[in-house]
Each structure stands twice: as C-alpha cells, then as structure tokens.
Structure 1
Amino acid sequence: MTKITLISGSTFGKTEDFAEDIAKFLKKNNFKLKIFHGVNFSKLSNKGLWLIITSTYGLGDVPENLKNFLKILKKEKPCLKKIMFGAIGIGNSEYDTFCGAIKKFNHYLLLCGAKRIGKVLEIDITKNFCLMEYSKPWIKKWIKEIIV
C-alpha cells in the first residue's frame, strides 16, 4: 500500500475540508495517508510521497499554518531528493498573485531536490465551487503516475 503525506494550508478552513475530501478519495483507492493541516517540518520524513494542498490569501501569501514550512524550505534548503510530490493550489484569478502560495511551494521544493509528479493543479475558486469534482480528473491522473 502506497503511503502519502498530505499537507494542507488553509486560512479559513475550506482548503482543509477539501484536503479531507481528497484523503477520503485516496483511502478508497487503497492509499495509506498521514494528514497534516499545517505542519512542523521536523515531523515530516525526508523520503516518500507528499501531496501539498494550499490556498492563497492576500497578495500571494502562504496561509499562516504553512509559513514556517516554507521558511525552512527557503532558508535551510533541506535535501529532499527522496521526496516526490503533487501540488494543488486554490486561489482567485482576479488577482495577479493567483495561486501564489502553491507556486512558492513548487519552486522551493524543486530547489531542494524534490521531484514533482504531474503538473501543478491551480483551482480558481471564483469559477469552481465544487473543488472535489473539479479536481477528480487531476487526482486520477496523479494516482496513475505515482503507481507506475
């Protein structure tokens, strides 16, 4: 059974709820999950498979519960060569900084040597009210890519 560490960042809780929906879907597809809504970097394994789901607020800012995680990636640049990850961002396309948080995580994870599986999924909250339905095709494709 493949293990996934699901990491979510949320300001008002909608992204956490969405992450829980994704977790249920993954569990139904025989994945074992460890879920963090916000995370202390020291609790993460430096190998394995991560799925990062985060909203963006303000001017492309990372939610408060993921700020320290991003700070460690930027300043300490830990070696993450044994990490593969997927990335889902939620934002408002009316802003120039649309999905800025997930773009930052993608950038710094790649700089630390992690390998992204699939494309980054950017969800426009103003056009896609049912996050799970919108993201299912991406999730199904991502599952196929990690099983190969």
Structure 2
Amino acid sequence: MRKVNLVYGTVYGNAQFVAETLQEELLAKDIQVTLMTPETLNGFVPPEDELLLVVTSTTGQGDLPDDISPWFETLRGEAPYLPKLEYGVVALGDSSYETFCFAGIRFDELLTELGGTRIGELLKIDACETMEPEVEAKAWLTQWTQLINDHAAD
C-alpha cells in the first residue's frame, strides 16, 4: 500500500489522539505513514502518488480548528489540481449542533473540488454517542485500507 500522509486539526486534543492512534494502526500493518502536525503543513501539497488522511474536529459554528485552518485556506486559495489524489476523512463533532462534523465535510468538499477521490465513506464520530472516538476510527481504518487495496487491484 502507498504511503499515507496523516493530517489533523484539533481544538482540545481529541483529533490529535485519534490521528496518533491511526498512525500506530497503520504502522502495525507495515504501512508507511507520516503524521503531519499542523505546524508542518505550511506549503504542503498532498502528493498524488501517496494517500491523504484528514482527521479533524469541528469548532464554533462549524468552523475548522485554528491549527489547521491556515492550511485549508491555502489549499482553497491556491487550488492545486489533484486528480490522482485519493483520500479519507475522519470528522469529529457533536450532533447537538446543526453544523455536526462540518469541518470534515468542508475538507471532503475541498478535496473533491481539487479533483481528489475519497475512498470509502466520510467517518463522522459523534461526541454525544462515543467517549472513545479512536475505537470507531480504528474500525473505519480497517475498512478504508481494505478499500484502498481493492481499488489498487482494479
């Protein structure tokens, strides 16, 4: 399987913890992964021969976390064409808000606009229903990596 670039945006640390857990899972499967902290995203354009996995929480009224918002805005402003990029999104949110998981939805929409292809479903993790978002994310990751492998075999 191709290398995975794992990007996260967090407010209180939950999305970072989920991203770190997914990093450990990928490494355990012998999949090369780079966990990119928000500080390392300046100028980063996802390579199309690698996979992108975005883990983000939602804050305020459906806003992106402050730590990942500059990268999102740069991607949106520069709009690099990424037709061969394959990606996944894990969104953390609270379903008691109308803007549930909106930061992840915005990332999904942006990456699609840039020509990327989402592999699998966008995972929405509800803070109202789960106290351990990493458990849901790990189960989703198993399916995601299988879909990637199946897609590569086509």
TM-score, normalisation: structure 2:
0.90
Q: CA RMSD in A?
A: 1.3
Runs of 4+ in 1 over 4 A off after TM superposition: none
Once residues 34 and 135 of structure 1 are traced to their aligned partners in structure 2, the CA distance between those partners, rounded to angstroms, is 17
Q: Alignment partner for residue 122 of structure 1, among 121, 124, 148? A: 124
Instruction: Tell me the equivalent position of 2:43.
Output: 42
1:140 maps to 2:142 = yes
Q: Which residue of 2 aligns with 1:79?
A: 81
Per the TM alignment, residue 41 of structure 1 is displaced from its structure 2 partner at its CA by: 4.6
Structure 1 window deviating more from structure 2 (134-143 vs 37-46): it is 37-46
Q: Which moved more, 1:33-42 or 1:49-58?
A: 33-42
* Residue identity opposite 2:133 in structure 1: L
Q: Percent identity?
A: 29
What residue is the counterpart of 1:10 in the other structure? Answer: 10
More deviation, 71-80/99-108: 71-80
| 45 and 137 in structure 1: CA distance in 2 versus 1, 3 angstrom threshold | closer
Q: Which has the higher strand share?
A: 1
Q: Which runs of 5+ in 1 are unaligned?
A: none
One-letter identity of the residue aligned with 2:73: K
| TM-score, scaled to structure 1 | 0.94
Structure 2: runs of 5+ lacking an equivalent: none
For residues 112 and 43 of structure 1, the distance between their equivalents in structure 2, rounded to whole angstroms, comes to 14
Q: Shift of the alpha carbon at 1:44?
A: 3.7
The amino acid of 2:135's aligned partner reads: E
